[in-house]
Structure 1
């Protein structure tokens, strides 16, 4: 989360596996580190987000983070 707050691509990508999937329900799904990295710096993205974790759910090798 600190990497997101600083918009630090390398810190964010270092925490991900190559097969990462980012589902933004009702909008799109991003697959893999390259797509994830491109989404971080997408046109129209300004500043660094103010994120807080509402819930963290883990099951074996999968994690789901709920951000309000």
Structure 2
């Protein structure tokens, strides 16, 4: 399988979504162990869910093209 040799045509702006998605997941995991982010669970889950759905949609659209 040549998974690592696949070339994509993603722009830097499109990578912002996966970065936001991963960052919100990291903060969620970190906030589970720290009380500082306790008040932001809902906002972080909304950002994470929105960016996951948007990123997967764009990924599937690019894979079909």
Asked if these proteins are the same fold (TM beyond 0.5), I'd say: no
TM-score by length of 1: 0.28
Structure number with higher helix proportion: 2
Q: Which is greater in Rg?
A: 2
